Amino acid sequence: MNLSEIVDLACTGDLTQVRTLRCGECGGSLRIEYVEEQVAGAVYVECLDCKQRTGSRRLNSAPLWVGEFGKRVETTEIQNRGTG
């Protein structure tokens, strides 16, 4: 899965899907961030190991995981915390 596909899943996926995301290039953990902007929000993804980054698509509302994990998460933190 490339970073563009990962961003799409981070925007639309449920908590289980987001917590299992890994970098498609190196398999590393990801930092996923939701940023609220004036008109719409956006999701950004960065690999913590190989430092690949991609910007996002515009969203009218926050992704589902924001309510559970906050606006900025790392997939290793989510995996360690679990979803209940």
Is the model's pTM score more than 0.85?
no
pLDDT of residue 84: 44
As separate numbers, helices (DSSP H) first and strands (DSSP E) second, the chain gives 4, 5
Round to the nearest angstrom and report the end-to-end CA distance of the chain.
Answer: 26
Profile the chain (84 residues) by mean pLDDT over runs of 10 residues. 88 84 92 86 92 84 88 75 47
